Amino acid sequence: MSTASSRQFSRRQSIDPHSRTSQSAVHGAVRSNPAIPAPTPKARPANYGFGEDSMIGQEIKQLESDSFNADQFMQAKCKAMSEKSLRKLCAELVDFKRASAEEMRKSVYANYKSFIRTAKEISELEGELRSVRALLTTQSTLIHSLSDRSPIVHSHLAHPDRSVYEDDKEASSQEANLLLIPDKMAICLAERRIDEALDLLAKGEDAVVMCRAGHRPAVNKDALETLDTSLAEKRAELVELLAGITQQPSVRRAELRHAVAALARLGDPKRAHTLMLSSHGAQVQAAVQPLRPGGVSYGAAYTAKISRLVFSAILAAAQDSKAVFGDTPSCASELVLWAHGETEWCGDLLQQYVLTSAAAAGGLRLAAECVQIAVGHCSLLEDHGLAMAAVLMRLVRPNVERALEANIRRIEESVQAMAAGDDWTLLPVPSAPRSPAARLLADAPVANFRLTSSAYRLYSMVQDFLEDVIPIVNLQLTTPTLDGLAHLYSQYTAMLNRARTPTTPPTTGTPPPPPPPSPPLPARGETVGRARTGQRGKARDPQG
């Protein structure tokens, strides 16, 4: 038989419904589903009608053997074939492939429902086989366990231990002690013995866990459930007691820290940290509430009290957070947000009671002094990583700038009013100076400081202005200060130019007399430098 015939016969055997594989699948499906009638097997002639001694019969036996190798079979057949025979064989194989595909398609279409039903039944059968396998594994494990324990049971039965059949007095004593833990905790809570209550709670909860795991003598199941419920109630009572301690307005700092540490030990550190910050905030609010400024003259004292209370509370909260919670990131973030809110609250109080009225009245000295005091207290937090000076300055800067502008306008209006009646005569410095700026003029050579009345007014008021503003120049207010001074001097220079220009032309050909020399105006850097020198001289001579 040719190779094509062998291939065709092999493929027909694979799709033959009477083949061994098809019969096993069908029989398995019939056994799993009794509703399907069992097919009646047909008798198959031996060797498909060929004799056992014929060549085709031998090839069929070779194809049916388990050790059949298609590659070796084809190589053995193709060695003795010519090129024409090989081409013919290839054409027959292609035709056979097409015929097989068509036959397979027809077979699938004809038996599609049967194939689907058989596949489902096979899947169900596989699931049942897996269940049986798992059951057998469990039974095998149980049998091995029983076989391992049988010698131990045999030894106990052969030599019984009397203690097994007697009451275990020690176990009964331990059970009684465990059941008394809730009562002991109630006494500790009533007497505010927090540490002992925490130890009893930890002991009881550990005992419940060990009893359930079988590591301790067995306790009655109902008694164990009652103990667990009682411990849960006592835990809730302890948490509420500690939370109430943190919410007391008169709680001491050591007691607050101890209560917060106990709450963190109970497994809720986030709530403990929040309660600690809330306690510090409530205490500072209670301390600030009775404080009210008595007037503008008391603004500096009020600012000092408010700043000391608020920023001392923030510092104490930072120290307590570090001592109890360490460098926990969540606690550090919550502390920064809380400190930011407290700083904004302090800035709002200063604006409401001090800076707004000072800015409206042009009280630059008061505003500068208050800001300097508040920033000084705020700088104490920088060692603990809390830089809140920028937050405070952002809040108070608008009022300080308004006070600065009000002073600039006041100087400008005063100088303009005096320049309106000035005869522009150069006069020496008065002999009895009173202000620090006048003392600077008196200590200098007289020839260098011969000013008109309006120029002397401008110079003295600018010196007083610099003495007020220099303490806060370093607080990001240098630019508006210098812009205001430049505006003053430019306005006064414009007035001098208008005074030097004649209002009416001369009637004769005689040239007009030369204008008087303009008074010396100090430069911007010279003015600020002299003001700072005056402050240093004032510090060296407090009696001046």
DSSP 252-300: -HHHHHHHHHHHHHTT-HHHHHHHHHHHHHHHHHHHHTT----SGGGHH
DSSP code per residue over 177-216: HHHTHHHHHHHHHHTT-HHHHHHHHHHHHHHHHHHHHTSS
Nearest-angstrom CA–CA distance, 219 and 208: 9
In this prediction, the residues of the chain whose per-residue pLDDT falls under 70 are 1-54, 153-175, 214-219, 293-298, 429-449, 473-476, 502-544
Alpha helix segments (H runs only) across 33-111: 55-64, 70-79, 83-110
**What local confidence, expressed as pLDDT, does residue 31 receive?**
44
Angle between helices 181-190 and 169-179 (to 10 degrees): 30
pLDDT of residue 538: 38
Q: Per-domain residue ranges for the chain?
A: 3-110, 172-246, 269-402, 421-499+518-540
pLDDT of residue 411: 82
Tokens 């505003």 -> residue: 367
What integer pLDDT is reported at residue 5 of this predicted model? 43
Residue 452 CA to its chain's centroid (Å): 66
For residues 355 and 392, is the Cβ–Cβ distance under 8 A? no
pLDDT of residue 123: 92
- Report which residue type is found at 151: P
